[in-house]
Structure 1
Amino acid sequence: MVRSPWSIWRDGKFRPLSLLDDPAVNDRGRNQTMKPPAKALVTLVKFAVSIGILVLLLRSQDLSSLKADLLAVNLNMLALAVLLLFAQTFILCHRWILILRAMSVPLRWLAGWRILIISTFFNQVLPAGGDAVRIWMLRRNGVQWSQTIGSIVADRFLALLALGLIVLAGMPFLLPRVHDNSLLFAIVTVLAAACLGAIALATLDRWPPRLIAAVPARIVQFAMLVRAPLLAAGGRAMLIVSAIVVHLITVATCYVLAIGLEAPLTALDAFVLVPLVILSSAVPISIGGWGVREGAMVAALGLAGIASDKALAISVLLGLGGLIVGLFGGLVWLIAPERTGFSPEEARAIAERTDAAPV
């Protein structure tokens, strides 16, 4: 029997997803929330990872050459790169709006974009602060707790799914470039795991009850949240297309920056290699991907014969472009009606509740 995508597995059977709004469930989750000292330690570790990788990269580079590259970048190409990153926020918003509509949340597009662009600002100034603020602003607009968390979780998962599809499409061009068997094994393993995960997600409601009961409840609940938009009757194709376009804009941005730095990066090289950088920087072990993104960019573009100083300059400019877009989000935040009711303590509580939620 096909189950509703808006159900979760709990106590041996599928139950309505609204259980995530049950105070008893949330109180139990709050008791399992990571304590403040532990959260502070995680943040410090992320800072250490970002700074450590950047220091190692800079020590191996000719800083005068890197500085010359950053100062000599074609300003027209740099402006175009920032414009592409800004345009990316509209595609990100469209993807999120489609997910919310699949969850029967009638959020207006302009309101959704305002929330999303503000979250980019908090992503720059607070570790993992963007999602907390996005959830807080949705809650201020009367959206249920289960739908706020579900939209964020589904948004992240669909981004990874689309990234996997792009990497898979580029594999025929990537394989001849990779001569390190360990790296090739890692890439193939990640893609195989993604394919198996997608198959398991699509067929989850057809698994035997005993098999589902053997899977941890949090994993089943997470799967039910992220599969719902994919099973929605309308907008599914547009949802997947928008998720892919978001990553292609990042690829195009790196290509434009390479042109501005006169780096010999072809469009095909960018399409094949930049998604690997995006995938690496998505691993939550650093602050905003800094450090990890730079190291991955140097390694990936090195497969195309790009000098390490040029690759590092491309990555730094990509990060600075994101900062510029984030600062624009800060300006939007200054005039946002929700700002007057914003409480850092409430946002922190939302972030902790998100960590404790059964997803």
Structure 2
Amino acid sequence: MRPANATLARLGVSLVLIGVLAWQLDAQALRDAFVAPAPGWLLLALALSVPQVVLSAWRWRLTARRMGLTLPLRRAVAEYYAATFLNQVLPGGIVGDASRAWRHARTSSDRPRAWRAVIIERLSGQLMLALIAIAALLASPALRDSVLGGFARLANAPGVLLAGIAILGALGIWGYRRPPAWLRDTLDDLGAALVASRMWLWQCISSLGVVASYIAIYAIAARAIGADIALGTLLPLIPPVLMVMAIPLSVAGWGLRESAAALVWMGAGLDPAQGVAISMVYGVIVLVSSLPGAWLLGVRRPPHHASAATDSLPGKP
């Protein structure tokens, strides 16, 4: 698919999903859910987004240093802001990460490794979010019953048997073929930057902090519109909704996130219109918090010369 067609397709996905939600949900309930957000809560959410970006940039720098690349923290923060803004305004949600990987690669003597550093850094966050989402499902009785019940029904499908056969076949083929060089390099970098020595601990701590900030901002969005949900009920609902945003089929998760919120709220026995309203306020908060990235994109230019690609203290967190 051509880039322009892919962009239109993802924009269409967002618009269609939001349109379907507006059509399916009770109009009065949806209007009632959209009360004017309290400014104090919104300011708190925007303030929390600053350490979130700094911690994410620090995780990227930590990953790059472990792989022998130079990445000053100040530059990492600026590039992360710019990437966050691009992810919010361009379809797919990964263009910004590709941009910061490309810009870092331009100043590195090992360009493929600069790209892998961004991939590994994002993988660290997604793995932590997946673990928290699983824990949240287990912590919420209503979601646990609905989701696990759905998986139990799928387990009886013939497709599961076919999938198992395909996996076993792929493993058999793998045993007779030597992995390609790019895959061996990726596995080596994964070992060095994600699981080796104490790196797994630093990656877990930083990723836990980043994911916790996402969840906190979502909970603040709920409070901003006056959603009267106990934290013990609200917090387990958030990680599964955030997981859906990783699917690169829309613009910044719009439509997918709201659809997931409606389903999760419904599965928990709550008003789905309220879940959609909270999700949309959250999306606006994230967009506004990324606006410094727009300014940085306007004033920063990609460097045209390569700098040193190794650090004096590689691998030290």
TM tier, smaller: 0.7 to 0.9
- Is 2:111 aligned against 1:145? yes
C-alpha change, 1:173 and 1:86, in structure 2 (3 Å) is: same
Match of residue 208 from structure 2: 244
Deviations 1:105-125 (A, max 9, x none): 121111110111111122223
Matches of 1:151 and 1:212, distance apart in 2: 29
Out of 62, 72, 89, the residue aligned to residue 108 of structure 1 is 72
C-alpha change, 1:139 and 1:76, in structure 2 (3 Å) is: same
C-alpha change, 1:166 and 1:335, in structure 2 (3 Å) is: same
Match of residue 52 from structure 1: 16
C-alpha change, 1:333 and 1:186, in structure 2 (3 Å) is: farther
Match of residue 310 from structure 2: none
RCO (CA 8 Å, sep 6+): is it higher in 1 or 2? 2
After superposition, where does 1:179-328 map in structure 2 within 5 Å? 179-180=145-146, 184-185=150-151, 211=175, 213=177, 222-328=186-292
C-alpha change, 1:67 and 1:80, in structure 2 (3 Å) is: farther
Out of 121, 132, 152, the residue aligned to residue 166 of structure 1 is 132
Out of 109, 120, 126, the residue aligned to residue 154 of structure 1 is 120
TM-score under structure 2 length normalisation: 0.79
Match of residue 121 from structure 1: 85
Matches of 1:247 and 1:290, distance apart in 2: 19
Out of 53, 61, 66, the residue aligned to residue 25 of structure 2 is 61
Preserved CA contact (<8 Å) 1:286 1:292:
yes
C-alpha change, 1:188 and 1:94, in structure 2 (3 Å) is: farther
Identity, % of aligned pairs?
25
Match of residue 44 from structure 2: 80
Displacement of 1:255: 1.3
TM-score under structure 1 length normalisation: 0.70
Matches of 1:39 and 1:224, distance apart in 2: 32
Deviations 1:71-90 (A, max 9, x none): 42211112212222333111
Matches of 1:68 and 1:157, distance apart in 2: 38
Give 2:205's aligned amino acid: V
Tell me, what secondary structure is at the counterpart of 1:265?
A: coil
Please list every run of 5 or more consecutive structure 1 residues that lacks an aligned counterpart in the other structure: 1-36, 190-206, 342-359
C-alpha change, 1:228 and 1:262, in structure 2 (3 Å) is: same
Matches of 1:74 and 1:115, distance apart in 2: 31
Matches of 1:298 and 1:242, distance apart in 2: 30
Preserved CA contact (<8 Å) 1:123 1:129:
yes
**Count of residue correspondences:** 287
Displacement of 1:231: 3.1
Matches of 1:188 and 1:266, distance apart in 2: 32
Please list every run of 5 or more consecutive structure 2 residues that lacks an aligned counterpart in the other structure: 156-170, 305-317
C-alpha change, 1:271 and 1:38, in structure 2 (3 Å) is: same
Displacement of 1:49: 1.4
* Greater mean deviation of Cα atoms: 61-70 or 150-159: 61-70
Matches of 1:187 and 1:254, distance apart in 2: 31
Deviations 1:136-177 (A, max 9, x none): 221233352122211121022212211122123334323444
Match of residue 294 from structure 2: 330
Matches of 2:236 and 2:175, distance apart in 1: 38
Match of residue 13 from structure 1: none
Matches of 1:336 and 1:188, distance apart in 2: 50
Tell me, what secondary structure is at the counterpart of 2:290?
A: helix
Displacement of 1:132: 2.6
C-alpha change, 1:232 and 1:179, in structure 2 (3 Å) is: closer
C-alpha change, 1:90 and 1:168, in structure 2 (3 Å) is: same
Match of residue 6 from structure 2: 42
After superposition, where does 1:21-36 map in structure 2 within 5 Å? none
Aligned alpha-carbon RMSD (Å): 3.1
Matches of 1:268 and 1:223, distance apart in 2: 39
